Amino acid sequence: MKYTRLPNTNIRVSKICLGTMTWGRQNSEEEGHAQMDFALDKGVNFFDTAELYPVPAKKELYAVTEEIIGRWFVKTGNREKVVLATKIAGNGDYTKFIRTTGFAKDALITAVEGSLKRLQTDYIDLYQLHWPERDTNYFGKRGYDADQHDFWEDNIHQVLETLRDLVRQGKIREVGISNETPWGAMRYLEESKVHQDLPRMQTIQNPYNLLNRLFEVGLSEVAMRERIGLLAYSPLGFGTLSGKYLGEVPPRKGRVTLFPQYNRYSNENAVAATRKYAALAEEHGLSLAQMALAFVNTRPFLTSNIIGATSLEQLDENIASINITLPNTVLEGIEEIHNTIPNPSP
């Protein structure tokens, strides 16, 4: 395994992060525990979860993933071996069963307290805002349609004040954002520069993969100049960059098969690009999954690559990508495909 640190901290994390959003829906508790055992044995010390998980979100399964992790901590005594990240859910039609108050002070406090209880821990290493409260470009939205009612105002100062108090209480160590834009990232960073008693956003968890490299437009410069590290999620694009959906019969238990609404990486251009990437990987004796993950692992703005798997075989292959060095011929081939079909899945 290779390691880095959460930016501006002494918290050492593996460059492969274990994603958990299938546990409690696609994966059983037993399988989730087996994945944590396996990953930790392979040197993965960074786990990412959220109160929203498992996905797709469902009222009856609210925060089950955190509970699964908490019971594993109790069973194994491995809490101190893991850097633990979780998130508060943002507003949305599919999160109304959680709360409708966004990142208001009471909402943040309640969310943190709930996560601590379910995770059976006294502290969270990295606490993240799952997506912005404001209406903006996240989850694949292309055009920008400003909501005039909240266009000129935000509550970022108040959010950071609440997070500061939770840090001072020892309940969280560091904070981060997710599904953010360049403006949102800079707004948070500038607020903590001007008001130095406020915590600094250390990481940004956004999608990044061969089919969606939009992080490179704007946010990569922010990440590198401002030292806010990318936690790349969906590095295999819902599993499409494993190539398993290219056949005539889709895998019965695949996420896109089970939940066809997750079609972000399944449009015509995305399928065409995936076929080209698959051919490139085969030409160089690589699996498509490992080529796709190895590409993400090499990005200079990356802090950690969040992988997800529904089997130990997939998990083993994904973790092993950390040891793959892509030759220049592969990197050049990736750029050629990207220039031909750029970002088909924003």
For residue 193, give the DSSP letter. Answer: H
Q: Residue 163 is which amino acid?
A: L
> What is the distance between the alpha carbons of residues 59 and 70, in angstroms, rounded to a whole number?
19
3-state helix, strand, coil in the chain (%, to 5): 40, 15, 40
Q: How far apart are CA 337 and CA 272, in angstroms?
A: 10
Give the span between the Cα atoms of 20 and 70, in whole angstroms. 12
At residue 182, what is the residue type? P
Q: Please check whether residue 319 is in contact with residue 42, taking contact to mean a CB–CB distance below 8 angstroms.
A: yes
CA distances from 285 to 257, 327, 334 (A): 28, 12, 15
Helix or strand run (H / E) with residue 246? none
- Known catalytic membership, residue 138: no
Q: Which of 3, 53, 123, 245 is catalytic?
A: 53
Assess contact for 276 and 341: CB atoms under 8 A: yes
Element holding 206 (H helix, E strand) = strand 201-207
Q: How far is 139 from 157, CA to CA, in rounded Å?
A: 24
Q: Which helix (H) or strand (E) holds 48?
A: strand 46-48
Which backbone phi and psi does 22 adopt, to 5 degrees? -90, -10
Length of the chain: 346
Residue type, 307: I
Positions marked active-site: 53
